Chains A and B, each alone.
Chain A
Amino acid sequence: MSWWKLFLPKRASGAQLDSELRFHIDELIEANIARGMPPEEARRRAMLEFGGQEQVKEEVRDVYRMRIMDSAFANVKSSVRFIHKSPSFSATIILTLALGIGANSAVFSAIDAILLRPLPFPEGDQLMFLNQYNLRVKSPQTQLSTLRLEDWNRMNSTFQALAGYYTGDSSETSGALPEKATEAFVTPRFLDVLGVSPALGRDFSPEEQHFGGPAAVLISDRFWRRRFAGDPAALGKKLRIDGYSQSIVGIMPASFAFPSRDVDLWASVPTDAPYAQDRSSTWYTTIGRLKPGVTLAQARANLATVQAELGKQYPKTDGELTVAIEPLKDTTVGGVRSSLWMLFGSVSLLLLIACTNIVTLLLARATQREHEISVRTSLGAPRSALVAQLLTETFVLALAGALLGLIVAGGASRVFGMLAGSLPRVDEIHLDVRIVAYSLLCSVVATLLCGVLPAIRGTTRNLSNSLAQNGRGQVSGRIPLQWLLVGTQVALAVTLLMGAGLLLRSFQALGHVTPGFDASHVLTFHVSGSWGETADMRRLTQRIDSIIETLRDMPGVQGAADSAELPGVPTEFQTELKFAEGPAEPEHKIVAESRFVSPGYFSTMQIPQLAGEPCQEPKLLVSPNSPGGVRVEAGSLNVLVNHSFADTYLSGSNVIGRHLQVVGNAFLRPEHAGEIRGIVGDAREEGLNREPGPTVYWCISAPSPNPYYLVRTHTEPMALAETLRKEVRNIEPARSVFDIMPLEEHLTDAFSENRLRTILLTFFAVTAVSLACVGLYGTLSYTVSVRRREVGLRLALGALREQIVRQFILQGLRVTLLGCLAGCGLAAAFARILSGMLYGVSPTDAATLSAVIFLMLAVAGAASLVPGIRASRVEPMQVLREE
């Protein structure tokens, strides 16, 4: 007995058959007894006459089994024969489907890995991202102070635990050369929240998490393999990180990459350190794990209550704060969601076009097979069997297409990685059972989409119709349907083409913006520094200043500066400000983007000074013990504002000399004002796709221990990389220089998601247009072959060959135009989905639309030309002779 017999219909076996046969035997016995045999003999004879019962039963079961299995096998066998017999036809279908299904599975693999799967942590859906924000300032402040984090953790009732982390770059000097290491500084409970334990060794002990306790680190699998060649004896060894000796207590599993793939070391930050006892020193990005069964809404309500209580307890620091909670997956995935669904929609349209195309092919094919089918019908094959056979053929083709498509999908992660390496979770994309299952599902859907119509139409013709087959009347009914299919393909292709056109135009518009700064010939890099250095701001400032001076003196260098963030790479740091001279509670809120730059920034980035004086670094920078950020104890900072700020908040007059103060819980104490020294031109600092808003530049060369250095070069920027590395080593031998990269490359990377979707959609659109043209070409060729006789007659009656060509081209163009018109409606709907991704072009851009239609018509015209010319070459005499 094979396993598949389990799937047989119940009535084929079992008690019913037994009693049916027993009845027969009993009747035989009785008949024998009636003839006068003794019961024993009667029974023996009956059994003998009946024959092997088991054999009969088996044969009856076969009746049911054969019908199911054999017909399926026979269908598959005949399908394989069919593919064998018409290789080019089958190859066309298989390749079309491979492309359609492959592209679909590829995008699905990204959606599955990035959007659908939980984060790679146990019960990943319980993980939440928490932050605090000030109601009065627009952009959220994402960091938390130690005390508040501990309060939240203690007072809430909806989370199992909360933990915080921040990252920094440090120099590890226990090896031969100083090495830059990315270090994550974590609060207690960090690994508990994530639900991960070290692969080797242990988590931090309680002593290691207290101030003054033994210094310990966890190292990443990658660091372990790189530095210790994967030797377990690394446990207990000491590393020298930023001058402090720390022992390795654990090695994390290779799959663990939180907060990012780059982290090499995790170090514990004690919550009881003296410098952590300030509610406004905010450092931590905060995550938490919900208790089982707790909903997001419950957690939000709970934390709101907790923070309200803290607000009462500490009105000064906590009064205006609110808590925001989002699933960690959502914050990780961010804005990629809409791009991916848009791509998935496009790729599904592409599959639809591919299927429509195949329907046209199969319909034409069905005409050729009419004879075979009518013979089989007349031989008594039921229609369902013929439909099953035709569907099986389509399914075998679709399956072959899907398998080939899997190869396409298998390479998808590499393509995604290549086009947009910054895509979140991109390294989690790979081919697995789910993708294979999805591809198979696609092939079933494709079979139904492609196969049902041709199978039903192919089997409706009856014998008499086929016997009366005579070229003309009999095909005419099918042609309108094929033209409808061609029109559909054109409409869908126009939709995709319109989307691709809009994205391309946005991309082009982005390339043409005047950013207000000059990104060419600028080299950017980091020099390792640690937050610990902010304990002595004077020294930190001196160190950074001396690096900048060295850079400026290098040959080939035009200017050098540093900045907390790169210009043009999307970031946001909105702060609420007020004028020291103005009323304590001003009528209008002043909200501006704050940027932290060294005095040389404007000349290096070539942002023009419009009024006033250049920036000067204040003489006095004194620091408290605050590793969290810059604090200016006394004196006033120099501030430059941009044109937009001066216009918006000061109507352009009396700008210079006024003093700005930061309102609320921000990096600068309210009592420290910045004096406006001048006005500079507007620059697209927060992203090339965003209009410059009011911006305040605070002139601080040490906004963080590890700012971006910017060097303007005379020649190709990367040519200077090695000299620059050497020069920095001369003055800072213990520090590493890393991430050396032209600014323009950063700007390109910032739009990598944009680029990914533009390239992919363009690719899909081009494929769609090609498929539509193949469909048009095929259908028109078919029409020509059907109308050969008519064409021959007309030529014989004196029609010009140009007229014939024109007639067929016009027929192709008419369908294309109708398809375009239908496509416009679809494109309008599609453009609405795209509207959030467009820049500098409206979703209903007339120029793009007309270009798309023109392109479609041009390509369609070209595709119609060949069949048209072929029609005009018909030899009248030959056609008439064929009659």
Chain B
Amino acid sequence: MPIEKSDLLQGTLDLLILKIAALGPVHGYGISQRIRQISKEVLQVQQGSLYPALHRLEKRGWLDAEWGQSSNGREAKFYKLSAKGRKQLASEESNWNRLAGAVSQILETAS
């Protein structure tokens, strides 16, 4: 059962985008495909959330955007992680891990 946009924790999408962009320049379509593939189709990002998020992250300076050629030779907008974004990713990742750890601990202990 794919998890829809509204179910995603706020800020999680940003974290996922940053993580994927950390692997190298990637366009919006690529990001949505990777999320889907890596999560084994569990997470499906709606374009209605993806593009606003990309632009928001670009606006904050965490992503740098550049126009380039896609693998099949078409013009596409590529996003890559900026230095600021790298720091942000690190802190969000650790936050997430702490949160996830805390939540799973509660789930385990309370059961």
Contacts and interface: CB of A to CB of B under 8 A. Distances in A.
Given A52-B48, A55-B48, A56-B48, A24 B55 contact: no
Given A59-B51, A63-B52, 12 more contacts: A12-B55, A19-B75, A20-B28, A20-B77, A51-B46, A52-B48, A56-B51, A59-B52, A63-B56, A63-B59, A64-B55, A64-B59
Interface string B48-73: 10011001100100000000001010
Contacts of A20: 27-28, 51, 76-77
A52 B51 CA distance: 13
Contacts of A16: 77
Nearest to B27: A23
Interface in A733-789: none
A27 interface: yes
Contacts of A51: 46-48
B94 to A, nearest CB: 14
A59 B51 CA distance: 8
Nearest to A12: B55
Contacts of A30: 72
Contacts of A52: 48
Contacts of B48: 51-52, 55-56, 59
Interface of B: 27-29, 32, 46-48, 51-52, 55-56, 59, 70, 72, 74-77
A657 B106 CA distance: 125
Interface in A234-293: none
B85 to A, nearest CB: 14
A24 B47 contact: yes
Interface of A: 12, 16-17, 19-21, 23-24, 26-28, 30, 50-52, 55-56, 59-60, 62-64, 67
Contacts of A26: 74
A692 B28 CA distance: 92
A56 B47 contact: yes
B46 A28 contact: no
A760 B84 CA distance: 56
Nearest to A16: B77
B29 A27 contact: yes
Contacts of B47: 21, 24, 50-51, 56
Contacts of A27: 29, 70
A663 B32 CA distance: 104
Contacts of A55: 48
Nearest to A28: B29
A366 to B, nearest CB: 26
Query: Which of B48, B70, B72, B75 is the most central at the interface, judged by chain A CB atoms within 10 Å of its CB?
Result: B48
Nearest to A52: B48
A17 B46 CA distance: 17
Contacts of B51: 17, 20-21, 56, 59-60
B75 A62 contact: no
A52 B74 CA distance: 23
A17 B65 CA distance: 12
A63 B59 CA distance: 8
B30 to A, nearest CB: 8
14 contacts: A17-B51, A20-B76, A20-B77, A21-B47, A23-B27, A24-B47, A28-B29, A55-B48, A59-B51, A60-B51, A60-B52, A63-B56, A63-B59, A67-B59
A719 B61 CA distance: 85
B50 to A, nearest CB: 9
A56 B32 CA distance: 15
B37 to A, nearest CB: 12
A380 to B, nearest CB: 9
Nearest to B54: A60
A52 B77 CA distance: 20
Pick the 4 closest A-B CB pairs, nearest first.
Answer: A27-B29, A59-B52, A24-B29, A63-B55
A62 B29 CA distance: 21
A24 B27 CA distance: 9
Nearest to B88: A380
A30 B76 CA distance: 15
Contacts of B27: 20, 23-24
Contacts of B32: 24
A19 B51 CA distance: 13
A23 B74 contact: yes
A59 B56 CA distance: 11
Given A50-B47, A56-B47, A67-B59, A23 B75 contact: yes
A23 to B, nearest CB: 5
A67 B57 CA distance: 12
Nearest to A20: B77
B76 A23 contact: yes
A60 B50 CA distance: 9
B56 to A, nearest CB: 5
A790 to B, nearest CB: 41
Contacts of B74: 23, 26
Nearest to A50: B47
Contacts of B55: 12, 60, 63-64
A62 B55 CA distance: 10
A23 B29 CA distance: 8
Given A28-B29, A56-B47, A23 B70 contact: yes
A16 B78 CA distance: 12
Indicate the member of A20, A23, A26, A52 with the most B CB atoms within 10 Å. A20
A707 to B, nearest CB: 82
Contacts of A59: 48, 51-52
Contacts of A28: 29
Contacts of B52: 56, 59-60, 62-63
A253 to B, nearest CB: 58
A30 B70 CA distance: 13
Contacts of A63: 52, 55-56, 59
Contacts of A21: 47, 51
Contacts of B56: 63
Nearest to B44: A49
Chain B CB within 10 Å, residue with most, of A23, A26, A50: A23
B88 to A, nearest CB: 10
A64 B46 CA distance: 20
Nearest to B74: A23
Contacts of A56: 47-48, 51-52
Contacts of B46: 51
A46 to B, nearest CB: 11
A858 B70 CA distance: 80
A60 B77 CA distance: 15
A67 to B, nearest CB: 7
Contacts of B75: 19, 23
A62 B52 CA distance: 8
A16 B55 CA distance: 12
A50 B27 CA distance: 15
A311 B94 CA distance: 98
A19 B68 CA distance: 12
Nearest to B49: A59
A63 to B, nearest CB: 5
A542 to B, nearest CB: 95
Contacts of A19: 75, 77
A51 to B, nearest CB: 6
A63 B55 CA distance: 7
A382 to B, nearest CB: 9
A62 B49 CA distance: 12
A17 B28 CA distance: 11
B72 to A, nearest CB: 7
A119 B65 CA distance: 58
A268 B72 CA distance: 93
Contacts of B29: 23-24, 27-28
A17 B76 CA distance: 11
A12 B58 CA distance: 11
Nearest to B28: A24
A67 B70 CA distance: 31
Contacts of B70: 23, 27
Nearest to A30: B72
A759 B8 CA distance: 70
B71 to A, nearest CB: 10
B59 to A, nearest CB: 6
